[in-house]
Structure 1
Amino acid sequence: MIVPRVYPFIVIQLINFMKVAVVQFKASTKKEDNLKKILSYISKAASKNATLCAFPEFMMFYTNSSQTSRQLANLAETINGNFITTIANAAKENHIQVVGSFYETSRKKDRVYDTSFVIDKSGKVISTYRKIHLYDALGFKESDKMASGSKISKPVNTSIGKIGMMICYDLRFPEMSRSLAVAGAEILIAPSAWVKGNMKEEHWITINKTRAIENGCYVIAPDQVGNIYCGRSLVVSPYGKILLDMKKKQGISFVDIDLNKVKQTRKVLPLLKNRRTDIYPTLKV
């Protein structure tokens, strides 16, 4: 008598890891010097098989308090200018996606947009976002030199997931991250230049963790270091775990993103699903 073999049922969970490179550096006041550094980081990220390379806010150049709004506006470029075109060519050559920001020319006199961008592996700019919350707080007034954007950009599909774009001070406004999450964002990327100050690092860490937890998504926040900025570039998991903290060092670090974690977290902690949008408007102000 032949006894048939019994094979145990094995459940295999597909793991969808994508490597992301996060860059933290001290931008100089010279655009050309920063661009050379950016291109080097893109090449290094690609050599380590990263799918996407994320840069901080003001990567184009550091503007100090003595620089006038007109001087800043004269250095700004359009999305088709040399700065973005050069980065886009590097993205294409290295077959890697790039996220960052630049000073974009504005129609308003002596004002620029603080604009973030997403470039795909073919070198195409697939999304831009103009910062809507200008840092007019704690003794600073970005509106003296910048014009605010007028809309939140829709999340964009990339090979690491659906990305929602924010910039620095935007992180303090939960309505924005929630809007992006409801629109489908699985990852929030916030190029930042977080200014040093009393309790500022504590705010930075708490806010990034909170945005991840309340939306069940990854938060990737590359930050400037040096000059007046605090560093501490972060990547936070959908459940609020800090996966990367670059402290005060300049350089490039890598972290794996797993979209299964987003799905799992949103299933066991269904904050987006449990919202009572039918009741919230009943609060009269």
Structure 2
Amino acid sequence: MKVAVVQFRASTDKKKNLAKILDYISAAAKKGAQLCAFPEFMMFYTTSNQSARQLAEQAETITGDFITQIARAARKNKIEVVGTIYEKSKKKDRVYDTAFVISKSGKITSTYRKIHLYDALGFRESNKLEPGHKITPPTKTTLGKLGMLICYDLRFPEMSRILASSGSEILVVPSAWVQGPHKEDHWLALNKTRAIENGCYVIAPGHLGNIYCGRSLVVDPYGKIILDMKHKSGIGIADISLELVKKTRLSLPLLKNRRTDIYSDLSL
């Protein structure tokens, strides 16, 4: 089975980005992909001088025009789509960073609101974003059972482990990984580690340009990078094998060997 990973630079213009996204969906289907995965902030790039209120005004609901057109393209091209939007919240000056899965029939089958906001290394996403409050259970796709994270979530292994122990065979991580010293090293190490420790694939489409480093990846259950798009825009294709997930988890049964009966925080 083939997955298409899209790496591109989103502009501040939502309509222009949507036109590119629809073209990428069509191109991915023509390449024989069953699923097309997009990076975080694909909807549009928000600059540092854009206010929280201005961002919220451009955000949409999960059933808004942006998602509706992507769903139509998914149905037309008979391909599943994973991506993100700025989703309106009840607060006028905060939005959710929301990932979604759309089926080949154009139905929204799963959504996830980013729970770990990037308040680190000089950034404060909480100045504009509202955190989600739950981990979304794995959802069935053509590729297998898929668990969703977004970007900074990668740094919290508990989340990936919960998704894996709940049945995820693939973790998909739409990201906009900020450039900086050692940041690409962290990105590579974290994606490889999440794959190795959970015996699953990690599909990590990365936002390219603006302040982000790109480096979209697909990592197999043994931690081998089978796709690295470096700093090139466009579509990358990788083959996914659920049989490899099964074989890996049988020979290296990390999920089975956990001692959940004794895990707890330690009081000194």
* TM-score greater than 0.5 by the shorter chain: yes
Identify which of 7, 15, 19 aligns with 2:2.
Answer: 19
Per the alignment, residue 94 of structure 2 pairs with 111
Per the alignment, residue 80 of structure 2 pairs with 97
Per the alignment, residue 193 of structure 1 pairs with 176
Q: Whole-Å Cα distance in 1 between the matches of residues 265 and 111 of structure 2? A: 35
Residues 122-175 of structure 1 deviation map (CA, whole Å, 9 limit, x = unaligned):
000000000000000000000000000000000000110000000000000000
Q: Are residues 1:179 and 2:162 paired?
A: yes
Residues 28-68 of structure 1 deviation map (CA, whole Å, 9 limit, x = unaligned):
00000000000000000011111000000000000010100
Q: Whole-Å Cα distance in 2 between the matches of residues 49 and 212 of structure 1? A: 25
Identify which of 189, 197, 214 aligns with 1:206.
Answer: 189
Shift of 1:282: 6.8
**Partner amino acid, structure 1, of 2:6:** V
Identify which of 47, 55, 60 aligns with 2:30.
Answer: 47
Over 4 Å off, 4+ runs: none
**Partner amino acid, structure 2, of 1:237:** D
TM-score (norm 2): 0.99
Per the alignment, residue 232 of structure 1 pairs with 215
Larger radius of gyration: 1
Q: Whole-Å Cα distance in 1 between the matches of residues 102 and 61 of structure 2? A: 15
Identify which of 254, 259, 263 aligns with 1:276.
Answer: 259
Shift of 1:284: 2.8
Residues 97-135 of structure 1 deviation map (CA, whole Å, 9 limit, x = unaligned):
000000000002300000000000000000000000000
Q: Whole-Å Cα distance in 1 between the matches of residues 114 and 42 of structure 2? A: 15
Shift of 1:283: 2.9
How many residues are treated as equivalent by the alignment? 268
Q: Whole-Å Cα distance in 2 between the matches of residues 104 and 280 of structure 1? A: 36
Percent identity (aligned): 71
1:281 partner SS: coil
Q: Are residues 1:37 and 2:39 paired?
A: no
Instruction: Structure 2 unaligned segments of length 5 or more: list them.
Output: none
2:82 partner SS: strand
Q: Whole-Å Cα distance in 1 between the matches of residues 260 and 33 of structure 2? A: 39
Identify which of 108, 112, 115 aligns with 1:129.
Answer: 112
Q: Whole-Å Cα distance in 1 between the matches of residues 141 and 92 of structure 2? A: 35
Distance change in 2, residues 1:282/1:53 (3 Å)? closer
Q: Whole-Å Cα distance in 1 between the matches of residues 199 and 151 of structure 2? A: 19
Distance change in 2, residues 1:225/1:160 (3 Å)? same
Per the alignment, residue 230 of structure 2 pairs with 247
> What's the Cα RMSD here?
0.7
**Partner amino acid, structure 1, of 2:90:** R
Residues 207-252 of structure 1 deviation map (CA, whole Å, 9 limit, x = unaligned):
0000000000000000001110001000000000000000000000
Q: Whole-Å Cα distance in 1 between the matches of residues 194 and 265 of structure 2? A: 25
TM-score (norm 1): 0.93
Q: Whole-Å Cα distance in 2 between the matches of residues 55 and 30 of structure 1? A: 17
1:280 partner SS: coil
